[in-house]
Homo-oligomer: A and B are copies of this chain.
């Protein structure tokens, strides 16, 4: 399993509730691909959303995002992390 950070552009004006609903939509189907979405961050002003997930591949992460109605613009594996 690898961690991924994906990026969505064009989400200007996104609200806390919309972010929550989008995240819920991912969680509802993530098991189909063995993916888990851990966290999400949004900047309503620039319209950028970042998601942190864990899964078998970037393609698996993308399939969940696509089915949930919000395809990612970029998905980067982040095999190194610190916390």
Contact indicator A19/B77 (Cβ below 8 Å) = no
Q: Which chain B residues border A68 with CB–CB below 8 Å?
A: none
Query: Nearest CB to that of A48 among chain B residues?
Result: B76
- Count of chain A residues with a beta carbon within 8 Å of a chain B beta carbon: 28
The verdict on A79 contacting B39 (CB below 8 Å), with A5-B50, A50-B5 known, is no
Query: Nearest CB to that of A3 among chain B residues?
Result: B41
The verdict on A40 contacting B82 (CB below 8 Å), with A5-B50, A50-B5 known, is yes
Contact indicator B80/A46 (Cβ below 8 Å) = no
**Chain A residues near B (Cβ < 8 Å):** 3, 5, 14-16, 19-20, 23, 38-46, 48, 50, 52, 76-83
